[in-house]
Amino acid sequence: MIDALRRAAIAVTVQAEGVIRDKVARGALRAVAVVGAPGANVARRVDGMQRGADLHAVETASWVSSDAIMAGQGGPFDAGDLRHWLALAERAGVPFVPAQEILTLTPEEMDAVSGVAELPQGPLRQRAERAARRIDSAIGDPDDRAAPESPVARVARLAAIGERLHAALDAVPEGWMVRSSRGGCAELKSLAGMGAAGPDAPTVRFGPEVEIGPGWVRSGNRRRVHANDTRTVRMAAEGPDGGGATFLARPWVEAARWFTAEDPHRHGTPFAGKGVWPVEWRAFVERGRVIGVSAYYCWGPEPGPREARAALEVRSLAQAIASEAVATRAYPRQMEVEFVRAGRVDPEAQALLAPFGREDVACTLDFIEVANGGFMLLEGGPAHTPFGGGVAAGFTGCGDGPRLGKRGAAIDGVAFRAMAHVHLAEPSTWTEGDRSGRILTWDAVDELARD
């Protein structure tokens, strides 16, 4: 049964990636067609796009490496890069699931492995091609470009990159997972979300020659890094390296506890049914202080003394990491917030930005309960903000202020489970309601932990 569910999850994910690529291609055509449409102020619109690209380049160029964080030098850093959070955890003395770098691809190499989207034929493409010629004439000589790569040179270059993708995994033990420094691949997220990952690193066979694992693909008897996953490519493009990516290998850590429940993501679909999830926790940090803790898979744990003690321990560990970041002057940054900061001056936007200052520590920190009864940092990432970032987990729908409806939830206390009326796959249900027995104040959690 679990193998069938895993194959279904992978198949659905691959199909969805194809849809995403098609939407991206169509979106790109529409953007070009709008910018270069007859009568449009092409120079002004291109200049606006360039200002956004320049802001991204200047901001991310100021971000420091994880080595600088480990050395205690501080500075702004990419909130989406796992390596920085592991460095802070090590400095704070907080246990963490280790990771080792196995491969770095340049932006040009990521472009090569991500493939070329087939642009759909039709009137939209024709308008976009005409618009592209207008843009070229507005910004310079369209022929002032590097000579195109020959087919022979391209094949040789792709073969060399392909060998590097394979060689990177030759020394990685079986049973480990692979991910980019900025996040896991779409297949892994799908398996975990549907409760189909399991206690061992999940693998899915498609015939005798092809096997897909967490972040890798085996063809024959050799594995390669799955670098052309849509989610991985997107995160690389959004990152500070101009589209480059570093890949990490990590041991698959066994969780101490698991729970079985109906999967909310598959509700109402042909794949509806139960899944099995590890007990993991997410801590939310704003202004250097842990403001909330939630069960990451927030449709399983029931409030009780053991869960309350676990949430308090997670708060303590997360606070140690946040305090180390404050002491080191290490400031996590995310571009969604920086774009809003640069472009919005209305009072409401500025009020929403207040907890996420440029020299504040705001983030999400995820922990897994491990077999020895302790907790390990599994992931660190961007803060939950009204403008994007980490998901609110069990706090989804909380709050009745301006943050609600703007991708933000009011977070305070411990969310053992999402509110009963909230279906995580249905945003229309993300509204305030009855929190009884699901979302508790810190005082209530303290009291429950003493039982």
The pLDDT assigned to 112 comes to 84
pLDDT given for residue 16 in this prediction = 41
Return phi, psi of residue 259, to 5°. Answer: -135, 155
CB 328 within 8 A of CB 88: yes
Q: Residue 242 and residue 244: Cα distance in Å, rounded?
A: 6
Whole-prediction pTM value?
A: 0.82
Residue burial 256-295, b: 16+ Cβ < 10 Å; e: rest:
bbbbeeebbbbeeeebeeebbbbbbbbbbbbebbbbbbbb
Map tokens 């967490």 to a residue: 214
The whole-number pLDDT of residue 262 equals 75
- Burial of 372 (C-beta count, 10 Å sphere; 0-12/13-18/19+): exposed
Task: Please give the Cα distance from 413 to 297 (Å, whole number).
Answer: 17
Of the candidates 423, 389, 382, which has an alpha carbon nearest to the alpha carbon of residue 406?
A: 389
* CA 122 to chain centroid: 34
Q: What pLDDT is attached to residue 13?
A: 45
Low-confidence stretches of the chain (pLDDT < 50) are: 1-30, 32-36, 42, 124-125, 128, 405
Sign of CA dihedral 176, 177, 180, 183: negative
Pair 30, 221: CB distance under 8 Å: no
**Residues paired with 224 in a beta bridge:** 217
Q: Which of 94, 40, 72, 36 is nearest to 380 (CA)?
A: 94
Report how far residue 188's alpha carbon sits from residue 379's, in angstroms, rounded to the nearest whole number: 14
Question: Is-contact 104 225, C-beta < 8 A?
Answer: no
Instruction: Give the closest residue to 362 by CA, choosing from 396, 387, 398, 399.
Output: 387
Residue type, 187: E
Cross-strand pairs, 180: 183, 247
Comparing CA positions, the residue from 199, 209, 212, 309 lying closest to residue 257 is 199
The reported pLDDT for the residue numbered 146 is 59
Do the beta carbons of residue 308 and residue 448 sit within 8 Å?
yes
